[in-house]
Chain A
């Protein structure tokens, strides 16, 4: 590349010749990670991080679909104030299953286990994770946890809510709590192993020249998330395990009737589960940095601040769990400290948003599907983060705690933020993972539908919450029906928005145009290799000599994506002044 005579003068210029394009145009058979071996065995015993990522992709999609189905039932039930669609026993099992599947089996693994697994080694220039076998083991552990949870459904379901509050869960619930608890406990280890793999890989496997300050921000974000995974997960795993122990053997830990302390459970649970919300959002934030830089052709603004804010969030995030317990009977002085720390942990998130906006400034922005998802993320995450401040503020939280306001807040963050980021990642890296382009038109349509459907579903819930509607209510006073109907209407649009990508992405696997190695002309080592990548990622170990996100230099493998987006013809006239 370096011997190329002139660096390109315009953002949309296509320096490589037509001749190189033809190399990818036909379906030239070439060996890559997908076709090195076929058959079920070659997948189930693979230790290739890319194949493991695909295994995760399939499993989390299945759990997402099941969790989504539960959401359909919830929204249908709440269409009318009376509990007329199902009994309370069933409704409680439905929302519990929804939460457990979405949080533990979809969102926590989502970006790290799929895109972290696939791209983290490639981004640091490595052949694989540090511990490939452990990596495969973590998928099996995840699946085993899933099997236990599914078994719990068959055994009659579980009705404690995803938070498993004691002593309801440990003593009173007549449902398959122990099975589910063991499922979640087992699943925790897959998180711990993934986190461990990430940290060791980032420390030990970086290609020559890949210094810490040259790491893509996606890697930084996953590094921060991995720290939380290994430091926090053991605590929640133990807490939930203790619930099972108290339930099965009557050991008094949380139930006051047995001499235990129910609040202790809440401390243990939130000590992990607050940081866990950052396991969900940090990797999404990493995706934002990649996508926004690429589609505005700009180095990310404030690289160091974005990287540092991830670490700040991961550390301070461990000190704010008590904000879930402001009305639990916790000391008001403890609440005061948790409140001020909560306020402070919100600031690094705001800093990231400002830096992303500043990245757009004087860029050359195009609006392909991943970028639309990124914009969606920015809008929804902003609302989610700001509403967190109402909850971090002591007085207002008293009124809003355990109402639909909370439900709206965390869906704005976890679905509006984290899932939008996940879908941005899917659309950004799909061509790399599969070698094919999906339909841009359908992609943009579903991004739009999701944004509209999401707001229609969850915005009314802020209003319901302020009116006082408690969460986890099977039936409710009539005055809230209008808002609930709006919410259910939005949810149907949202559901459609999730279905469409499943269809066009699957379709693209066979019929999508060949993507070529770098359809978005992005920087980053993963784009310097073929799509789909060869089994060992790179033909030779890459040597890094450049800063990250340097969009001023010629882009390696710079080839237009067939059919992707509007590619303005380079016009020699009128360079913008």
Chain B
């Protein structure tokens, strides 16, 4: 079909899960086709066989048949459960990032995607990434809800203001793919399109190098001192705020009792809404930085705080639980 005028009827399949998702889609389609055709043929045959003819006797009035009802209730139940089990199994794998993904940060705003790489480069409406390596996105929005959708990878995740959502994918083919915003977000919603550019790892490295700019951690460190965080969060004993080194991924004891894992969501909340969860042994003296620092800035601060964690042994990347915890 490629040479002709007609466009292809399937989107490119370019991620580790897209093949299996197509297979699942094909399975549901096969079952659906079977039932559609069976019902259509059944309808046609019945309509033909029992069409009214002159002198038809009055049809025998049939009340029903319980055994038959149970059969045609039971069989569909089994079939839909098979969809459910396969679909859920694949979904859980689609939602759980493998260990050590390449992390990239996304901020959506009306009407563009702002993307930051750890190493520094930033881009708008384009995401460069390497093939064959899992990529995990941590995403938030500056205004309304958007949705990050890459049909070629068969993935999609809403991007919410005021909290982080995550998604991951691993490309299997280099190339350029569509990126869409699929949550209606206002006037230029349709213009919130972009491109995912999947490159060979060495090309990606070269691209990163050429991108320039300070790394995310360095930018975070600069903000950290600019905003005066360091005045309270110094390393010296007796500082007014808790030391942040080694914080990421550990369990923080709260003043109200209980504990919370210091993941991205917690760090973000500590900066934007310090009074929400107060560390045990400290007073609520930290001012809110909501509105004083952009969403990108917060991501940089978090990157910096995470980098401090390397001095102590960071526990499991807590990120896998972020999206689970955030919207209960």
Contacts of B182 in A (CB 8 A): 401-403, 470-471
Contact present for B161 and A167 (CB under 8 Å): yes
Contacts of A173 in B (CB 8 A): 186
Using A10-B57, A172-B110, A571-B54 as known contacts, say yes or no to A396 and B25 having CB atoms under 8 A apart: yes
- B58: contacting residue among A92, A297, A301, A355, CB under 8 A: A297
In Å, the complex CA distance between A10 and B46 comes to 19
A159 CB–B CB distance under 8 Å: yes
Contact present for B87 and A386 (CB under 8 Å): no
Which residue of chain B is the closest to A304 with respect to CB atoms? B64
Using A11-B56, A339-B88 as known contacts, say yes or no to A466 and B10 having CB atoms under 8 A apart: yes
Please choose the segment from B149-157, B212-220, B308-316 that sits at the chain A interface, where 4 or more of its residues have CB less than 8 A away.
B149-157
Please choose the segment from A220-228, A270-278, A361-369 that sits at the chain B interface, where 4 or more of its residues have CB less than 8 A away.
A361-369
Contact present for A472 and B184 (CB under 8 Å): yes
Most buried by B among A333, A344, A350, A480: A350
B282 CB–A CB distance under 8 Å: no
Please choose the segment from A114-122, A377-385, A496-504 that sits at the chain B interface, where 4 or more of its residues have CB less than 8 A away.
A377-385
Contact present for B80 and A346 (CB under 8 Å): yes
Please choose the segment from B28-36, B119-127, B227-235, B244-252 that sits at the chain A interface, where 4 or more of its residues have CB less than 8 A away.
B28-36
List B residues 36-72 near A (Cβ within 8 Å): 36, 39-40, 42-43, 46-47, 50-65, 68-69, 72
Q: What's the least CB distance linking B146 to chain A, in Å?
A: 10
List A residues 166-209 near B (Cβ within 8 Å): 167-168, 171-173
Contact present for B58 and A396 (CB under 8 Å): no
Contact present for B147 and A365 (CB under 8 Å): no
Inter-chain CB contacts under 8 Å: number: 326
A534 CB–B CB distance under 8 Å: no
B24 CB–A CB distance under 8 Å: yes
Contact present for A329 and B180 (CB under 8 Å): no
- B156: contacting residue among A11, A302, A334, A399, CB under 8 A: A399
Contact present for A12 and B54 (CB under 8 Å): yes
B207 CB–A CB distance under 8 Å: no
A156 CB–B CB distance under 8 Å: no
Contact present for B62 and A480 (CB under 8 Å): no
Contacts of A463 in B (CB 8 A): 9
A570 CB–B CB distance under 8 Å: yes
Contacts of A346 in B (CB 8 A): 76, 80
Q: What's the least CB distance linking A440 to chain B, in Å?
A: 15
Contacts of B323 in A (CB 8 A): 329, 332
- B39: contacting residue among A9, A12, A89, A378, CB under 8 A: A378
Q: What's the least CB distance linking B26 to chain A, in Å?
A: 10
Number of B interface residues at 8 Å Cβ cutoff, please give it. Answer: 94
In Å, the complex CA distance between A378 and B38 comes to 12
Question: What is the size category of the interface that chain A forms with chain B?
Answer: 35 or more
In Å, the complex CA distance between A522 and B90 comes to 51
In Å, the complex CA distance between A397 and B182 comes to 13
- B56: contacting residue among A262, A364, A550, CB under 8 A: A364
Contact present for B151 and A399 (CB under 8 Å): yes
Using A331-B328, A363-B59 as known contacts, say yes or no to A350 and B72 having CB atoms under 8 A apart: yes
Contacts of A468 in B (CB 8 A): 11, 149, 151-152, 178, 180
Contacts of A168 in B (CB 8 A): 144-145, 184-186
Contact present for A327 and B73 (CB under 8 Å): no
Please choose the segment from A18-26, A37-45, A387-395, A430-438 that sits at the chain B interface, where 4 or more of its residues have CB less than 8 A away.
A387-395
Contact present for B7 and A480 (CB under 8 Å): yes
Contacts of B64 in A (CB 8 A): 301-305, 355, 358
Contact present for B81 and A366 (CB under 8 Å): no
Which 3 A-B residue pairs are closest in the complex by CB-CB distance?
A468-B151, A256-B162, A393-B87
Q: List chain A positions with a Cβ less than 8 A from chain B.
A: 8-12, 83, 88-89, 92, 159-161, 165, 167-168, 171-173, 255-257, 262-263, 296-299, 301-305, 326-336, 339-340, 343-344, 346-347, 350-351, 353-355, 357-358, 360-367, 375, 378-379, 382-383, 386-387, 389-390, 392-399, 401-403, 463, 466-468, 470-477, 479-480, 482, 550-552, 566, 568-576
Cβ contacts A to B, 7 pairs, < 8 Å: A88-B191, A303-B63, A351-B76, A395-B24, A402-B182, A476-B190, A571-B55
